Amino acid sequence: MTQILTLLVVFVAGMGLSVEAGLLGPLGENVGHMSATLCIFLVGSLLLSLALVFARHRALPEMFAQPRWMLTGGVLGPVYVVIITTVTPLIGVGTTMVAILFGQVASGLALDHFGAFGVPRQRVDLYRLGALALIAAALILTR
């Protein structure tokens, strides 16, 4: 039951990414892609700052004691948002999301297979490759 609830939460989060792309595309067209990206990160930062006030565990000093490579994820977020803001008006929300999904699953399978960044190793098998192939087919069909 816990796994089903977890998957449902992740499913809803994925729906939110599509809504975000749908909102950011027109915003980027109207105010510029970098301005739209800055706007989304400013609003997000304000909301997270407010949430952090009420959080039980605040470990900001410990965050900066971590290896620097762990903080590079902060670079990836804005790059991702600039890309979806730029390409969504060109290829549509659906194709953008399927292309992102393909990239996420492909890199996720590689990370799992090699146990990169300390994640538990899960070897890539034919089922997982089949799932990736189906996403590739979906990408071709949504173009």
Write out pLDDT tens, residues 39-78.
Answer: 999 999 999 999 988 888 877 788 888 888 888 888 888 9
User: What's the pLDDT score for residue 63?
Assistant: 82
Task: Render pLDDT for 85-133 as a digit per residue (tens, 0 to 9).
Answer: 999 999 999 999 999 999 999 999 999 999 999 899 999 999 999 999 9
User: What's the pLDDT score for residue 70?
Assistant: 85
> Where does the pLDDT of residue 25 fall: very low under 50, low under 70, confident under 90, or very high at 90 and above?
very high
User: What's the pLDDT score for residue 67?
Assistant: 87
User: What's the pLDDT score for residue 21?
Assistant: 92
User: What's the pLDDT score for residue 95?
Assistant: 95
Give the integer Cα–Cα distance in Å for 131 and 134: 5
Give the integer Cα–Cα distance in Å for 109 and 131: 10
**In 1-143, alpha helices (H):** 2-31, 33-54, 60-63, 73-91, 93-114, 126-142
Going by C-beta distance under 8 Å and a sequence separation of 6 or more, which residues neighbour residue 47? Answer: none
Q: Is the pTM of this model over 0.95?
A: no
Cβ 86 vs Cβ 33: under 8 Å: yes
User: What's the pLDDT score for residue 68?
Assistant: 84
User: What's the pLDDT score for residue 64?
Assistant: 82
User: What's the pLDDT score for residue 65?
Assistant: 86
